[in-house]
Amino acid sequence: MSAWSGNDTKKYLPVLLAEHGNLCVLCGEPCAPDELSVEHLIPRSTAPELSHDLDNLRISHKSCNFSRGNRSIETFRSHYSNNLSWWNNIQ
């Protein structure tokens, strides 16, 4: 089963918070409770078999998660840190 649902988010968020804290894996800033989402380090589209693997799950802001899309984390971070105008354009 590779589908991801809101119930999965509810299930995994407390586990990830306990293990990794509330820092966004994408931008490094803390997430407020209403900004929390579960980020797949390797996107589900690339590795559906890892979509429920705790080693592949981290905390991120909903907005960061959405903006990243299917880019690699490295690509997202380099754009985020090197080109804030690019970042603002895709908000």
Binding residues for Zn ion (CB under 5 A): 24, 26-27, 61, 64
Host H or E run for residue 91: none
Radius of gyration over every alpha carbon of the chain, rounded to an integer in angstroms: 13
In angstroms, give the least distance from the CB of 24 to Zn ion: 3
Q: How far is the CB of 80 from Zn ion (least distance, A)?
A: 9
Residue whose CB is less far from Zn ion, 42 or 48: 42
Give the total residue count for the chain: 91
Which of 26/36 has CB closer to Zn ion?
Answer: 26
Beta-bridged to residue 23, according to DSSP, are 30
Amino acid identity, position 12: Y
User: Could you give the CA distance from residue 32 to residue 20 in angstroms, rounded to a whole number?
Assistant: 15
Least distance (Å) from Zn ion to the CB of residue 16? 14
CB-nearer residue toward Zn ion: 16 or 27: 27
